[in-house]
Structure formats: structure tokens, C-alpha cells
Amino acid sequence: MTIETLSSNRSFGGIQSVHRHASAETGTDMVFSVFLPPQAIAGEKRPVVWYLSGLTCTHANVTEKGEYRRVCAELGLIFVAPDTSPRGEGVPDDPDGAYDFGLGAGFYVDATEAPFAANYRMRSYVERELPGLIAGHFPADMGAQAIMGHSMGGHGALTIGLRNPAAYRSISAFAPIASPMRCPWGEKALGGYLGPDRARWRDYDATALIEDGARVDALLVDQGEADAFLETQLKPELLAEACDRAGIPLTPRMQPGYDHSYYFISTFMEDHLRWHARRLG
């Protein structure tokens, strides 16, 4: 599989690049960004941290505002940020143009409902296709992977990590949608992509996966107390209750005064990267 380099810039001794490729899973071109630390440029295979973005975002949000490169350069971490959904001519969107469904709102599912099933395959794209691409084109140690994300991307990181515990040594999230089955964003998305049978939704709900037996060694979650979506959409208490019942060590950090923005994410990005680095070895 070939990739096209759209941009490449030196940063903190490493290289920040953006790439495009034709995806077999989504049937569209997909764009992603990669930061290679100096150690990788020197030829070392380095651990990979995946970052999944939230509603309305692309790879560019964290690439431009995440403030991760200095720490990744120090720790020798490759940082990969894919888009949130397929895009392009013919890709179906929300018929009313709403921000919380369709383009920019793929929810990291493999859709089964028409007309979304043909393109909205972000689960398979993130779990299988893009890792294969990264392994084939970059000096990545695919035996040392971590996954993290924000909001809808936090939901994606938690569910992908819980479904694939052997693939990821660590999982963390910023303000994740903790239980899409029990919030308006999630009910709309899962119903639209997967249909009305709620039993089929459980594979895309972190709390349900834990209730159904998924286990990991530890989770780190940061949540802003001033987040406008905290009570209606994110519901971190549901994840905490599920982890407590399952005996999963969860570090839930409520951050006073912080909202849902990248001011919040960039403040605690270094903490998350160092937490992952300790587990990636």
C-alpha cells in the first residue's frame, strides 16, 4: 500500500508529517499525521501512541493544538493521529447537516446500516488497516502500542483497547463518552450506524464491554469539572462504577476549572504520555 506525503516539518529534533492514502476499508482517501521522534529518525524502532480525536475533528486538531511533540521527542514515542471518519464525494452525511452524526462523527464503529455501511468502517480502519500501514512505512515497534483519545475519540480508545487487550499495553482518555448507550450523542450514532437492536451496540460501549467481561490492567481518565457535556453526554461515573465492579484499576482525575477544549487536553497531555511511556517500556 502506498502513501502520499502532504507535509513534513522538523520539530524538537523529530519530524511531524501528514499523509494520505487510499483506504480499502472506507473506500475513500484517508489522511493521518505522524510524529517521528529523533530516535526513530536515527533508525530505532520506537513504541507507538495512537490518538483518536473527537466530534467534528480531523487529524489536524491534535496535530496543531495537542502540544505533544516535545515530550514524544524526549521519550522516543511515535504519535499517530488518524481522522475521525471517512470523507469525500459520495460519502453519506447526516441528512440535516448535524455535527454529531456523519462526517466528522464516525464513532469508531463498523456501520451495518445503509447508506453508511459502505464507508463508515472506522473500527476496522483503526484496528487493522492503519496499523498495517504504519508498520510498513515507519520504524514502529508494533509490539509496544498505546491508545488514547478525546471525547468521541476517548470512547474509541476505550472500546478499541478493551476489545484488543493484547494489542495495547496502555489505554487512556480525555473526557471520554463513557457509555454511548446511555447518552444522546451515542444513542443517535449507534442507532444510525448499527440499527435499533441495542444488543449490537454493546461492542461499542466501554461500560458494557467491561460488564460483559473485558479486562485491562489499568485505565487513566482525565475529566474537566467545567466541561459543559459532563452530565448529559460523558457520564464518567458510569465507567468508574463498571471498573470498580470488575476490579479494573482506574485513575479518574477530575480537573477543577477545565472544560472540553484543547486548552484542557494540552495541559494534561504530558501526564498521559509519561504514563503510557512507563507501560511501553
Cα distances (Å, whole numbers) of residue 77 to 70, 150, 167? 10, 19, 16
Going by the DSSP 8-state scheme, the letter that residue 105 receives in this structure is: B
Residue 1: predicted pLDDT: 77
Structural domain containing residue 172: 4-280
The residues facing 221 across adjacent strands are: 173, 252
Catalytic site residue 227?
A: yes
Q: Which of 29, 35, 109, 43 is nearest to 69 (CA)?
A: 35
CATH number at residue 68: 3.40.50.1820
Residue 193: predicted pLDDT: 98
pLDDT digits (tens, 9 = 90+) for 215-244: 999 999 999 999 999 999 999 999 999 999
Residue 67: predicted pLDDT: 98
Catalytic site residue 271?
A: no
Selecting among 17, 23, 151, 179, the annotated active-site residue is 151
What gap in Å lies between CA 121 and CA 82, rounded to an integer? 13
Q: Is-contact 116 92, C-beta < 8 A?
A: yes
Residues sharing a CB contact under 8 Å with residue 173, sequence separation 6 or more, in sequence order: 148, 149, 150, 153, 154, 155, 157, 158, 219, 220, 221, 222
pTM of structure? 0.98
Residue 85: predicted pLDDT: 98
Selecting among 83, 203, 222, 227, the annotated active-site residue is 227
From the first residue on, what is the mean pLDDT of each consecutive set of 10 residues in the chain (281 residues)?
Answer: 95 98 98 98 98 98 98 98 97 96 98 98 98 98 98 98 98 98 98 98 98 98 98 98 98 98 98 98 90
Residue 4: predicted pLDDT: 98
Q: What's the structural domain count of the chain?
A: 1
Catalytic site residue 11?
A: no
- Residue 12's Cα: distance from chain center in Å? 24
Residue with cell 456523519: 102
Residues sharing a CB contact under 8 Å with residue 102, sequence separation 6 or more, in sequence order: 85, 92, 93, 94
Q: Is-contact 105 99, C-beta < 8 A?
A: yes
Element spanning 48, H or E: strand 46-52
Selecting among 19, 155, 260, 272, the annotated active-site residue is 260
The residues facing 222 across adjacent strands are: 174, 253
